[in-house]
Amino acid sequence: MLLRPRRIAEVWWVGGGAALLLLTGAIPWHLAAAAVTDGSDVYLFLVGMMLLAELAREQGVFDWLAGETVHHARGSTPRLLLLVYGAGVLVTVFLSNDATAVVLTPAILAATRRARVTPLPHLLACALVANAASFVLPISNPANLVVFHHAMPPLHLWLAEFAWPSILTIVVTLLLLQLLFRKTLAEPVQDAPERVRLQHGGLAALAGIGLTVVVLLVASARGAALGMPTCLAAIGISAAIYGWQRANPLPLLAGISWSTLALVAALFVMVRALEQIGALGWTSMALHWAAGRSNTAAVLLTAFTVGVGNNLVNNLPLGLLTSAALHAAHVTGMLASAALLGIDIGPNLSVTGSLATILWLIALRRENVHISAWDFLRAGALIMPLSLLAACAGLLMQQGLAH
């Protein structure tokens, strides 16, 4: 999956691994089916976000956003990067990191083409901020809902716990990105010939995305699953806009990456197989061992172990395994928070770390842009450890202030 030999898509390698598990009897068919069913909320959430992304594309929102970004950069590439990063923070916080990968990436690519600058730092900013800002709110990352499935903290307690870790991670990731690409960022920005005016359909699409944010926040505050509300909101908004325009909405379905849903289902199967061979027991014992260390050691061990593990398994299924282990070991508080930091920030190491990064790659390939695993790893090897360390420091500081 990481190397993609012969440019064969990720879904075939992950799906092939899941198929081998079934064919060799390593996991019974009924357990595999149950594992696939467990991901229903995630599938619905992703379908809703992909529909909104395609709607925004069709209604010209991406072209408008690209033009505004280049215009407000005022000839400065560092300012362009800052604008890109800020947009990524907002989209991630209120629409989830998957939405940043699916919705924002094509717009930023269009902006860099208009500005005629090297796209790599700006595109990497989309991928990295999608994970760095993904624990500001519970809805900022589907993995958050998975990890705290058994005991989701109320919103005010969530904000109190993760305020400093979020701020430090977002800031450190940006500073390191600017440091890595300081030479590239010396290029001048060339303004687009003219600013793009957003038409009525685009304004309606933006309003629909805003309505979706409200729906997600209300659902999160009530502790409801997010998949069905997101999907229904996207379908309703799309139907309303295309009904008003008297256009056929069916082409929107082409914007849904069905192979990505299959990839996620295969990942769920692989995690269930890991549970079958005792991974849950091993993880619970490791958590108990870490809980016996000092606060600093426990936080760092948990966060970095989980963080690196994401890149071997992917953070969504690892979140399921971690959630089950936390519940089985009766671990709560700071250790559970440290595990979440690893789940959300760890994927910034490699392209296989999170579903958002895989969606980011797919969005780029649709635009005939190919960023290699090595390009991502070169940046991630510096940015992930330091930003995760900053988040751990913020968590310990937050705990110190609370006591």
Q: Is residue 244 part of a domain?
A: no
pLDDT at 144: 85
Q: Given 3-state DSSP classes, what are the helix, strand and coil percentages for the chain, each rounded to the nearest 5? A: 80, 0, 20
pLDDT digits (tens, 9 = 90+) for 297-312: 989 999 999 999 888 8
> What range does the domain containing 108 cover?
5-38+61-197+257-402
Give percent of the chain with pLDDT exceeding 70.
96
pLDDT band at 387 (very low <50, low <70, confident <90, very high): very high
The number of folded domains in the chain is: 1
Whole-angstrom CA distances from 77 to 44, 109, 299 are 37, 14, 37
pLDDT at 331: 67
Give percent of the chain with pLDDT exceeding 90.
33
d(CA 296, CA 97): 28
pLDDT at 151: 67
Q: Is residue 217 part of a domain?
A: no
Q: Is residue 190 part of a domain?
A: yes
pLDDT digits (tens, 9 = 90+) for 116-162: 889 999 999 999 999 999 999 888 887 887 787 656 777 788 888 89
pLDDT digits (tens, 9 = 90+) for 186-235: 888 776 556 778 889 899 999 998 888 888 878 777 767 778 988 999 99
pLDDT at 403: 59
Q: Is residue 51 part of a domain?
A: no
Long-range residue pairs from 281-289, CB within 8 A, at least 24 positions apart, any chain: 283/321, 283/322, 283/325, 284/325, 284/328, 284/329, 287/325, 287/326, 287/329, 287/331, 287/335, 288/329, 288/331
pLDDT digits (tens, 9 = 90+) for 226-278: 789 889 999 999 999 989 988 888 888 877 878 888 988 998 898 888 878 87
pLDDT at 224: 75
- DSSP per residue over 255-275, as a string? GS-HHHHHHHHHHHHHHHHHH
Q: Is residue 178 part of a domain?
A: yes
Q: Is residue 48 part of a domain?
A: no
Q: Is residue 23 part of a domain?
A: yes
- The model's pTM: 0.83
pLDDT at 194: 64
Report the DSSP beta bridge partners of residue 188. Answer: 76
Cβ 117 vs Cβ 187: under 8 Å: yes
Q: Is residue 234 part of a domain?
A: no
